[in-house]
Amino acid sequence: MPVPSLPVIRELVRCYQAFDAVAGAHIRSLGLTAPQFDIIATLGNTEGMRFKELGEKTLCTKGTLTGIVDRLADKGLVRRVASPTDGRSQIVQLTAAGEAVFAHTFPAQIGYMDTVLAEVDTERMARLQQDLHYLRGILERKGKP
């Protein structure tokens, strides 16, 4: 007898929406959109990476990624560098200004979320993380054709 999916799905969606509202508002107060923050956070502490890798890590589609990187480049926070090994490919990396923004915003956001979740039950969060990981594994398998 399969478990009815609606209640747990609804809770997953609602919980995510609540998180997105809280986290997104704080990120925007730092001067970035959530997707821009995600790109910067992914590039932080790396030498850069190809668009393809960046898209895989952020689950961002090619067309969207181009737009976001364009706008971050306009802000002077990232740059494109031709790949040394593949004529089709480009490396996206943080500029010095981008690294400064990363150094400022990443700890600020993590710190903020830490305070938001300061009162949570530790054991419960560890359990939640494992259960979410389990569910994600199933969803990702089903998502493959």
Partner DNA sequence: CCACTTTAGTTCTAGTTAGAACAATTGTCA
Partner DNA sequence: TGACAATTGTTCTAACTAGAACTAAAGTGG
Among 45-53, 72-80, 84-92, 121-129, the segment contacting a copy of itself (CB under 8 A): 121-129
By CB under 8 A, residue 103 contacts a copy of itself: no
Nearer residue to DNA within complex by CB, 16 or 134: 16
Q: Three-class SS of residue 109?
A: helix
Q: Which of residues 18-47 bind a copy of itself (CB under 8 A)?
A: 18-19, 21-23, 25
47 contact choice in DNA, a copy of itself, none (CB below 5 to 8 Å, kind-dependent): none
- Buried b vs exposed e over 101-129: b needs ≥16 C-beta within 10 Å? bbeebbeebeebeeeeeeeeeeeeeeeee
DSSP sequence for 49-96: EEHHHHHHHHT--HHHHHHHHHHHHHTTSEEEEE-SS-TT-EEEEE-H
Burial class of residue 53 in the structure, from the number of CB atoms within 10 Å of its CB (0-12 exposed, 13-18 middle, 19+ buried): middle
Tokens matching residue 27: 């990120």
Tokens matching residue 108: 């600020």
Nearer residue to DNA within complex by CB, 3 or 59: 59
Among 6-14, 47-55, 69-77, 83-91, the segment contacting a copy of itself (CB under 8 A): 6-14
Q: Which of residues 49-108 bind DNA (CB under 7 A)?
A: 50-52, 55, 60-69, 71, 80, 83, 86-90
Minimal distance in Å, beta carbon 47 to a copy of itself? 22
By CB under 7 A, name the binding residues for DNA. 20-21, 24-25, 28, 33, 35-36, 50-52, 55, 60-69, 71, 80, 83, 86-90
